[in-house]
Structure 1
Amino acid sequence: MRRTQIAVVNKDTPADGRMDFRDLMTFDLKRVFDPEEIGLAESRVATFNHAPLLLAAGHLVWGITLLAQCICDSFLSQMILPILLLGLVLAADGAFAFLLRIRANLEPHIVTKGICGFIAVTGMLWLLFVSVAHAHQGMPNDQVTDQAIGVGLIIGALVAIQSPVASITNALVAIGSAALIVQDFVLTGALVVMSAAIVTYSLANSRGVIAASRRRRMLAEEARKALHFVHEFEGSGRGWFWETNHLGTLSYVSLQLADDFHCGREELLGRQFTDLLSVDTSHGAGGEEHKTLGFHLSARFPFSDVVVRAATNEDVQWSLSGNPIFDDHGRFMGFRGIGADLTEQRRTEQEISRLARFDSLTGLPNRAMMRQTLEEALRNASRRQKGCALFLIDLDRFKNVNDTLGHPVGDALLRQVADRLKTVMGNHGQVGRLGGDEFKAVLPGIVETGLLESLARTLIEQVSRPYTIEGHKISIGASVGIAIGDPGRACADAMIRNSDLALYAAKAAGRGKHCFYEQSMHSEASDRQILENDLRQALDRGELWVAYQPIVRTTGEDVCGFEALVRWNHPARGPIGPDKFIPLAEECGMIEKIGTFVLRTAVKDAATWPDPVRIAVNLSPIQFNNPNIVETISAVLNEHKLRAGRLELEITEGVFLADNSATDETFANLKALGVRLALDDFGTGYSSLGYLKKAPFDKIKIDQSFVRGAASTGSRNSAIIRAIVSLAESLGMDTTAEGVETHDDLQLIRELGVSQVQGFIFGRPGDATAAAEYASSATIEADGYSCIREPRQTLMRRAITMINGCTEEIRLRNISGMGALVECSAPVAPGTHLTLDIVGVGPVTGSVRWAQSSRFGMQFDEPFDLSRLTPKREKSSGQPVLRPWYVDRAVGE
């Protein structure tokens, strides 16, 4: 078997493929390593394929001729040896043929050496045959012998002419035979000259053949690479090739062009190129594009990047480039060029342009487009002298949707929100998306506050309606900040900043609201930013602490638990209420960190209390939706050795925003952990009854808005509380009434069957030391007012009244809408009905509820308007400070 060839590039080979004498002489005898040169060597060996036939024919013909000549002069018995030698010659020719037949398994240089060897052997045998035949003749016949030697030289030359080394071998054999057998110097000289001519011809011929083969190989390689590049270019889809003849008909087209016409390439060949394409003049007239393709083709001018459209029903566009082809005599042969498909490029450019101006998710104008719309609206407002309004819309509780249901559901929700916003806004303005869950609406020419308020309320109402996405029922809300632009004076940056401040004020007001911009919002925003920065460091500085408010059983007034409440003692501002910093913590992402701090502190303190006393900790929706919340709670309980049943987690309806399997799984894992669950602020959300049906709550906390003033005459809160208690009892849940402050409300709570009470009547929130004292006490005594007290004003007012038929001057103190504290020197019995004539205010009637020496408390028959105590002021004739001048003008028009 042929050994593995190693590719080696011959760096000494000149560019034209020619060789020097030494390399030419040894080319056929050297082992070739270059794969390209191996092919050349094998092709040279192939020229010897029919050489054995030629040798055998010449040997056979002239051998029989010599034998016949010898037989005529001798006896047949004397010709056995010549016949055997002729047989050997023919056998050598056969071996030569066999070598060439099996050469596929041999390397070319080995075959060449074998050929030279056979030429030498057959030449020697032929000369031996001739000499023996010559010796057996009856008389010398030098003419026949000379002819036989010449025939051997000629036949060998014909066989070996393609290889210089074979030619030299043949020449040496012929010259040697002439010198040894004929011994004719004239014949020998002639053979030498003839052999030199043959060898020279062989060298020249081989040199030319090798050089031509190498040039053909190089051209074939270049053609192969060019064809490969053509196929790759056509297959990439980035372009195609075309060619026409001198008549303008197609002689070559790429398959892509045929595919665009839904036909085969053969159907396009022979058709006029201009019949397939038409010039697209809609893309400008610069450069070559304003000229027709027919002009370039008829004038035989090269052209580049000419935009054309295919003569099809589809909108297919190309960019064509071409060059005229001329032969060596200057005759025009046609055009050859390339084309590129611009259809997808144009669509991509259009899509990029659209994406630069519109939101890819909702299809609404994006931030840049809305900024441009606002600036155009302000410029138009300056010309029309009529302002414009800007809505900044933020979705409430949207982040929980992404965190719990994933971004695909969140994206679907944003698309539905966008549809509702467009429906609400209608022709009043343009709605766009700024990014995330923020939207903007520009309302040019609208400044009437009534219309703006109506649009804002409708917008909030429509966005807050429930959504159904992939089987999930989702409820979110919206807050709206509104800024009105003054024509000719407002700028886009100022309106955006003002609407942003108004939006924050709407969120601070409880979300789900709208708010107009006011001048005071700038200072509030600065203060809020400072407070946010302080809050980020408050936990590390130890400024946050946990307060505990007792929860008391209504039956025995003993402490059954505490609610953990976070408090903030600011080093400069003093105590800051949770209603101010808790929403701030939710916005800046601190709520989860603060919630974890409260949980750890509360569990640690509760571990020192008696075992029956529970601790209630508020769990924010962000904490609840954390996948690690169960592990965190379990670790805290194990760390402080607190029984799980003593921990009560208070959860608001915000955790049900994403009504999915993850929420149910978290509830199940918490219950499996053994902690108690309480639904906080019951009755204030959207669908609390639906939550009770599926969530495993142990307690319902009745919101203080239903508890405070429930015992007041005419209040319907008692009926609501009674319904909640009945519902909880039927579901096997406890109830806790929040915000109980008066004895009347406490008595009503007891009568309605509420399980537990939490409020100021049993104690305000205190530190861990106070909580430990409460937890160790048997009972807590209720301490507070008998009934709810209205806000009072501490002042001194003179009044006149009739007491026991005598006119008395009295003084009023701590007056409220329901009654007043009266100082009077005359004794008055409880239940006495009096009419007080307040100086500068007028009469007011009421009854005495209690009386002491020189004082009594009076309850008014009808609510008293405290504004009557404020001195009257003349109305100002100036314009309202916060009402732009063009609003009144627009209303007037």
Structure 2
Amino acid sequence: MTTTMNPPPTANTAPLIETHWLLEGCLPNQTGISRIAMHQFPFCIGRDAACDLQIASRSVSKRHAKILHNPAAVIVQDLSSTNGTFVNGGRISVPTPVGVNDLIQFADIEMRLAREVSQAAEFTCVAQQPEQSWLISRLNEVLNEGRMKVYFQPIVTGPDREIFGYEALVRTDVSGLESPLELFRAATRLGLSTRLSQNCRSEAVRAIEEAGVPGALFLNTEPNEVLGEELIRSMKDLRDLTNNRQLVLEIHEEAMQETKTLSKFAAALRDLGIQLAFDDFGAGQSRLLELAQILPDYLKFDRSLVKDLGTPGALHENLVRTLHETANSLGIKTLAEGLETAESIQACDTIGFDFHQGFAFGRPQPFRIS
């Protein structure tokens, strides 16, 4: 960033403080973070060369948005763009005030509003936040720079412990996003959780096919993902990449929509030969009505229901048995998640679970190509 420097103050003058507003983010055809100082307002953003910030992306309109500044606030205004302007993940339709560290998206280009304060007497500029903490740049590393890794955890059959398939789980070593929970929380804040979810599934299919490992592949959705045509199309594309591998799409109960929509979605999956699993059953409100009406292929019991089975304090064992028997009577296979102890495994065998999953049968790890 270029900053105009003023001469040092005399003994009778106070140091001059200057504030500079910047946009920080990852621009097309550039590596790393770009930092654009806004020296004048209004500051126009768009694809046109006449804009103050020209973004070479077809998703960005010629005159996409402008940023205004007055003594009270910095304001973002969309200029009737085709693909929208977003502040902290929400599309805006009226001039919207923004502050330091707010996330601004111009179509699919994500940026962050930053401010630098310079004190002319010291000829220095102090950044509000260090580069390693930039949410946009870190998520860009995951989505666009190959820092996403897919790990696979085995799923075994209950009676004989044979590997039936694998659940694909995302991991990254990007600082601050190592936890999948934090990774998806960051993506949700930027409005990129669906894209991240799609990338995870695509990378999982690529990795398991490249490794040539047999078995069913269980793929996750994320709670904000719409169970509609876009997801169906992406699953069809993945199915076409596999060599007759059984794909299973897991739906968390938080993502379950009204029954009619869910039923239509399940039917579209079955038309593609893709199976459906209800994930984390029992972690929240158990959706028994949807279970009976949708009839998923698998019901994955949350670890909170099964981890203490077989111990003296497991007063809910009869409840778990009843839920398992109800699912089996509907033709639904049951899977116990999070199994780690011999006691819980024995209890699940006694109840009759069809499949087991947990550290006792293998930790998530990447496939190694020989």
TM interval, shorter chain, is 0.5 to 0.7
Counterpart for residue 681 of structure 1 = 280
- Report what 2:319 is aligned to: 720
Q: CA deviation at 1:596?
A: 1.4
Alignment gaps of 5+ in structure 2: 1-89, 92-98, 103-128
Deviation at 1:531, TM superposition (A): 4.0
Unaligned runs of 5+ in 1: 1-435, 438-495, 501-524, 774-893
- State which of 745, 750, 753 in structure 1 corresponds to 2:352: 753
Question: Which of 208, 221, 242 is the matching residue for 1:606?
Answer: 208
**Are 1:698 and 2:297 matched, yes or no?**
yes
The reply to whether residue 651 of structure 1 matches residue 255 of structure 2 is: no
Check if 1:762 corresponds to 2:361: yes
Contact 1:603/1:642 (<8 A) preserved: no
Which residue identity does 1:537 align to in structure 2? E
Could you tell me which residue of structure 2 aligns to residue 634 of structure 1? 236
**Partner Cα distance (1:728, 1:672) in 2:** 22
- What are the superposed Cα offsets for residues 704-761 of structure 1, whole Å, 9 maximum, x if unpaired? 0111122221222322321221111111111111110111111111111011111011
Larger strand percent:
2
CA contact 1:606–1:614 (8 Å) conserved in 2: no
Q: Take 2:181 and 2:189, find their aligned partners in 1: how far apart are those partners? A: 13
Runs of 4+ in 1 over 4 A off after TM superposition: 525-529
Q: 1:740 to 1:526 in 2, by over 3 A?
A: farther
RMSD of the TM alignment (CA)?
A: 2.9
Whether contact under 8 Å (1:564, 1:602) holds in the other structure is: yes
CA distance in 1, matches of 2:352, 2:358: 17
Q: Distance in 2 between matches of 1:565 and 1:631?
A: 21
Matches within 5 A, 1:548-587: 548-570=152-174, 573=175, 576-587=178-189
The alignment partner of 1:599 has SS state of helix
Corresponding residue to 2:334 among 735, 757, 761 = 735
d(CA) in 1 for partners of 2:159 and 2:282? 24
C-alpha displacement of 1:577: 1.4
**Mapped contact 1:707–1:740 kept (Cα < 8 A):** yes
Q: Calculate the TM-score normalised by the size of structure 2.
A: 0.60
Percent identical across equivalent pairs? 28
Cα 1:743–1:649 change in 2 (3 A) is: same
TM-fit CA distance, 1:618: 0.4
Cα distance in 1 between the residues matched to 2:252 and 2:233? 21
Asked whether the 8 Å contact 1:706–1:720 carries over to 2, the reply is no
Cα distance between partner residues in 2 of 1:642 and 1:694: 31
Match of 1:538 in 2: 142
Q: What amino acid sits opposite 1:541 in the alignment?
A: E
Return the alpha-carbon distance in structure 2 between the equivalents of residues 527 and 740 of structure 1: 40
Indicate if the aligned counterparts of 1:655 and 1:663 stay in contact, CA closer than 8 A.
no
Q: Write the distance in 2 (CA, Å) between the matches of 1:714 and 1:598.
A: 38
2:307 corresponds to which of 699, 708, 724: 708
Displacement after TM superposition at 1:604 (Å): 2.3
Deviations 1:550-582 (CA, angstroms, capped at 9, x unpaired): 111121111001000000112xx3871112222
Separation in 1, partners of 2:130, 2:159 = 50
Q: Deviations over 1:785-824 (max 9, x none)?
A: xxxxxxxxxxxxxxxxxxxxxxxxxxxxxxxxxxxxxxxx
Report the CA distance between 1:631 and its aligned residue.
1.8
1:596 aligns with 2:198: yes
- The separation in 2 between residues aligned to 1:747 and 1:526, in whole angstroms, is 51
**AA at the equivalent of 2:162:** D
Indicate the residue corresponding to 2:96 in structure 1. Answer: none
Q: Secondary structure at the match of 1:634?
A: helix
CA contact (8 A) 2:262 2:294 kept: no
Structure 1 segment 176-195 matched on structure 2, within 5 A: none
- Does the residue aligned with 2:310 lie in a helix, a strand or coil? coil
Q: What is the rounded CA distance, in whole Å, between the counterparts of 2:224 and 2:146 in structure 1? A: 23
Q: Distance in 2 between matches of 1:621 and 1:579?
A: 12
Using CA pairs below 8 Å that are at least 6 residues apart, which structure has the higher relative contact order? Answer: 2
> For the pair shown, which has the larger CA radius of gyration, 1 or 2?
1
- Distance in 2 of aligned mates of 1:527 and 1:745: 46
The answer for the alignment partner of 1:20 in structure 2 is: none
How far does the alpha carbon of each residue in 1:319-369 deviate from its partner, in whole angstroms, 9 at most, with x for none? xxxxxxxxxxxxxxxxxxxxxxxxxxxxxxxxxxxxxxxxxxxxxxxxxxx
Instruction: Tell me which protein shows more helix as a share of its residues.
Output: 1
SS in structure 2 of the partner of residue 545 of structure 1: strand
Contact 1:701 1:738 in 2 (8 A): yes
Count of equivalent residues: 246
Residues 482-561 of structure 1: pairs in structure 2 closer than 5 A: 530-531=134-135, 533-561=137-165
After superposition, the Cα gap between the structure-2 partners of 1:526 and 1:653, relative to the gap in structure 1 and judged at 3 Å, is farther
Identify if the C-alpha distance between structure 1 residues 558 and 714 changes in structure 2 by more than 3 Å, giving closer, same or farther. same
